[in-house]
Amino acid sequence: MKPLPTTGRLASRMKPSEQAALKQSLQSHAPTANWLAQTNELEIELGIGNGMAILNRAQNNPKASFLGCEIYLNGLEVVHQQLQKHPQPNLKICNQDARELLQTIPPASAARILMLFPDPWPKSKHHKRRLLQPELLQLIAQALRPQGEFWLVTDWPDYAFHTIALLQNAPHFAFPQTALAAAACKVKANAQSPINHQQTLGPHHLATPPTWWIPTKYQQKAAKVGRLPWFINSLKLG
C-alpha cells in the first residue's frame, strides 16, 4: 500500500538506531488478534500525536478499550515512555498507516473512531494529502458497528467543510440531531463559505464537545491565537 503523503516528518529527530529500538519496543504495546477479539466498547483514534489525549481517556475509562495509531514515530515516543512507566492494559498503540490499521480491525467492532486535529493542508493543491478521503471513510464505516460514532475535530473551517461534504456523500453515515459547537470561528467561516449553509452547516451538522472530551495540548495552543474547534459527529447507519 502506498503511504499517505500526509506528513513531512516521520522520525527526523531520531537516529536510525533509536528508530529501530523504539519500533521494537512498541511491539509490546501493539494490538494482537486476541486483544481485539476481547475488546469492550472499542475506541480507535487515527493519528494520536504524542498520545496523551488517548492515554487520558483510557485512564478515565478502564472498562473500555482504546487503540491509537500514529505514523509519526517521534510522537509515539512520549506515550511510549508513559506506558513503560505506568502500563495501561486497555490501551494499545502502533506506528502504522491509518488505512492499514483499519483493515486489521474485525468488521463492525468499533464503537467510536476519532480523528482529532488532523493536518489541514490548507492550500488547494494539497487537499489530496488530507488524511480524510473517501477511501479512508469507507474503511471507517467497515470498522464501526451499527450506530457507531465517527468524530472529527478541527480548528480549520475549510477542513470542517471538507469533512461535512464527504460525510454527506457517504452512504453509510448520517448526522445526529445535535447542537452547534460553541466555536467562535464558525460565524466568520459561515460568512465566507460558498457552501449552502442551510443544507450543509445547519445546527444538526456540528456537534458540541461530547461528555468524554478532554481538551488537547494542541487545542489549548490554538485557542490562544483565536482558533477554536469544530466538533463534527456522524453515526454509521444500520
* Short-list 144, 121, 119, 114, CA closest to 209: 114
Cβ-in-10-Å burial (0-12, 13-18, 19+) of 119 comes to middle
Q: What is the DSSP letter of 1?
A: -
Catalytic hit among 97, 119, 155, 158 = 119
* CA atoms of 189 and 120, how far apart (whole Å): 15
* Secondary structure E strands in 117-210: 144-154, 173-174
Cell of 208: 458540541
Query: In the 8-state DSSP scheme, what is residue 155?
Result: S
Distance of alpha carbon 180 from its chain centroid, rounded?
Answer: 20
Whether residue 130 contacts residue 104, with contact meaning beta carbons closer than 8 Å, is answered with: no
Q: Which residues have CB under 8 Å from 88's CB, separation 6+?
A: 55, 58, 59
For 93, the 3-state DSSP assignment is: strand
Question: Can you say whether residue 220 is alpha, beta or left, with left for phi > 0 and alpha for psi between -120 and 50 degrees?
Answer: alpha
Mark whether 119 is an active-site residue. yes
Determine contact, residues 218/117, Cβ cutoff 8 Å. Answer: yes
Catalytic residue numbers?
A: 119
